[in-house]
Structure 1
């Protein structure tokens, strides 16, 4: 029998962020932004039970997760001096990407591989004509932090499926026709507890097409990247 409520701290748990992973969740009290990291619905207990769909999230303040396969729970208990997060084992993103703009204050936490999942990438991305094919992925998480009015740089290249959960602050995902950012045609608002739908088009099991897009912070923001990396054969 699988042990219930197996939990551990995530690699980005620290002074400013409380972050944990819980698996085989049963009747578990949670405090923070809870993200369902599985293909199964998460059930929240209450006067009327609620469903959090696969790969979506909610905010619980002492609420009880009646049942879930795998969840992350991330909370900012005190936002005082939250910018100090950059000194708590985080890295300025320009240290990892040489061509990153030298004046952009975007910071990244450590990564954490939290498990594996098998899913249909076409259905995951809401493709209008999905193929009938399943792929195995590693689930990798990390956090990002940026102060208000940060342009997190327009890009369109990822070798994985990606969605984001907003942890703290208000922001937007902005989608453009061009890399220059002169032709904005779509915005997705991001508030704490939100996980947006995928913006990717799946070409095949290892090739993904993303539009030109960027994160934009209206306020100081922390958000969690959820990356699904296809496993090697």
Structure 2
């Protein structure tokens, strides 16, 4: 029998943002204010009448609630709300440019900071969950789920791009930002904006398999309206995982 209420701190949990993974939740009490992100492929059930649910790969903010059942969820509590601009350096997060080889001049000038990344668990997508993940071809596939936090200061464009070796989505933790889509890599071709407030999970963008490998997305970026912290969830396909 699977262990109930199996919980552990994520490796980027810190004095500002407390983050943990809970698997097999059953009558699990949440104290205070919590951002709850369902990373399972079944609903999270919240105690109450009528009972409420968090759909797969969706999130909400719960206060002093009880989770009746959950396959897997990330729970985040914000411990500090002031001085966000200093947090990345205080916590020792590197600038994104220092985490990649041969950064461009644009990336070198980008004030974007990334926490360490946590290897969460394995997730198998099936049926509706595969559709929610933006690509029905992922039905029956198993993924290694990874997560990290990002920080960017007010009025930061966080780089327009369209190719990933993984499927991704994001949850706003602090501040207000936007996920933006473009027709090309130029900012003036903006076609869509999704506003991101604390506790909101961006719906997966539709993607296709790329001929050179990975997943091809519409051109997109995160834009920070204020000083922002957000969580990125990456689903990395495991070799030979498709039925």
Question: Same fold by TM (over 0.5)?
Answer: yes
Change (3 A) 1:108 1:218: same
Change (3 A) 1:125 1:7: closer
Matching of residue 213 in structure 1 with residue 220 in structure 2? yes
Matched with 2:17 is 17
> Which aligned pairs between 1:97-112 and structure 2 lie closer than 5 A?
97=100, 98-99=103-104, 100-112=106-118
Q: Tell me the distance in 2 between the aligned counterparts of 1:171 and 1:148.
A: 9
Greater displacement, 81-90 / 65-74: 81-90
Q: CA RMSD in A?
A: 2.0
Q: Tell me the distance in 2 between the aligned counterparts of 1:103 and 1:204.
A: 29
Q: Tell me the distance in 2 between the aligned counterparts of 1:21 and 1:74.
A: 9
Match of 1:64 among 52, 66, 69: 66
- Is contact 1:122–1:202 with CA below 8 Å preserved after alignment? no
Greater displacement, 199-208 / 147-156: 199-208
Partner of 2:164, secondary structure, is coil
Matching of residue 225 in structure 1 with residue 227 in structure 2? no
Greater displacement, 112-121 / 180-189: 112-121
Deviations 1:67-111 (A, max 9, x none): 101111112122122233212131111101322522221110100
Matching of residue 113 in structure 1 with residue 113 in structure 2? no
Q: Aligned residue pairs: how many?
A: 231
Partner of 2:64, secondary structure, is strand
Matching of residue 123 in structure 1 with residue 125 in structure 2? no
- Is contact 2:210–2:216 with CA below 8 Å preserved after alignment? no
Q: Tell me the distance in 1 between the aligned counterparts of 2:37 and 2:133.
A: 17
Q: Tell me the distance in 2 between the aligned counterparts of 1:89 and 1:26.
A: 35
> Which aligned pairs between 1:131-142 and structure 2 lie closer than 5 A?
131=137, 133-142=139-148
Q: How far does residue 145 in structure 1 lie from its aligned partner after superposition?
A: 0.9
- Is contact 2:42–2:55 with CA below 8 Å preserved after alignment? yes
Please list every run of 5 or more consecutive structure 2 residues that lacks an aligned counterpart in the other structure.
none
Q: Tell me the distance in 1 between the aligned counterparts of 2:27 and 2:150.
A: 30
Q: Tell me the distance in 2 between the aligned counterparts of 1:203 and 1:101.
A: 26
Q: Tell me the distance in 2 between the aligned counterparts of 1:132 and 1:207.
A: 12
Q: Which has the higher helix share?
A: 2
Matched with 2:41 is 39
Q: Tell me the distance in 2 between the aligned counterparts of 1:158 and 1:136.
A: 17
Q: Tell me the distance in 1 between the aligned counterparts of 2:195 and 2:27.
A: 31
Please list every run of 5 or more consecutive structure 1 residues that lacks an aligned counterpart in the other structure.
none
Q: How far does residue 170 in structure 1 lie from its aligned partner after superposition?
A: 1.0
- Is contact 2:134–2:206 with CA below 8 Å preserved after alignment? no
Change (3 A) 1:27 1:122: closer
Matched with 1:91 is 94
- Is contact 2:175–2:226 with CA below 8 Å preserved after alignment? yes
Normalised by the size of structure 1, how large is the TM-score? 0.92
